[in-house]
Structure 1
Amino acid sequence: MYDQHIRDQDAKKFYNSKEWKAARVERLRKDKGLCQQCLRERRIKTADMVHHKKPIREYWELRLVVAYMESLCNRCHTKIDHSKL
């Protein structure tokens, strides 16, 4: 639903790009595949996704900068995304 109704087409194209997929793999590797928010809360959980710390709509030029990303589990990513609504 999100992809069909909310995500803009530039972002959709970006998330399907080989550049994003490579950056995503790099961030997961750097974070050893673990959710960084869970680690801050002293829990160990596998990351399911990579989150942009700065929204790509506002910071398009940083979309592939691995330093501005973090690995998160679905639960933590949902909490972050919903807190911005």
Structure 2
Amino acid sequence: MTTAEIIRMVLLDDMTRFYNSKAWKNVRAKARRRDNNECQLCKAEGKHSKCEAVHHIKEVRDYPELALTLSNLFCVCKVHHNREHPEKLQKQKKKFDNEERW
């Protein structure tokens, strides 16, 4: 996958295609192996948790040329990934508007 293709996906807001690509899956697997499938932020805090996401240090939308660069990636758990991307949590809609569910 070329940088031009990644830029095109960013411009078309088609990041699902990027994250489903073979190139991303390969580099993600390399990052998991390198980080022993552990959250690197938990590890820095003296804790241990499983890698549940591979995070881009410099985001794909801002730095598409680094999207597949191993040194731009590290493993994180869901808690730390949500802390890194609080804007994604705000986009999630509530299933119900009120507490009453029949």
**TM-score normalised to the size of structure 1?**
0.85
Give CA deviations for 1:21-79 in whole Å, capped at 9, x if unaligned: 00000000000000000011110101111000001001000000010000000011001
Q: How many residues align?
A: 77
Report the 3-state secondary structure (helix = DSSP H, G, I; strand = E; otherwise coil) of the residue aligned with 1:55: coil
Flag as ranges the 4+ runs of structure 1 deviating above 3 A. none
Q: Which stretches in structure 2 are left out of the alignment for 5+ residues?
A: 1-12, 91-102
* Whole-Å separation in 2 of the counterparts to 1:53 and 1:83: 16
* Structure-to-structure mapping, 1:1-85, within 5 angstroms: 8-9=13-14, 11-82=15-86
Q: Which stretches in structure 1 are left out of the alignment for 5+ residues?
A: 1-7
Identity of aligned residues (%): 35
Structural RMSD (CA): 1.6
**TM-score normalised to the size of structure 2?**
0.71
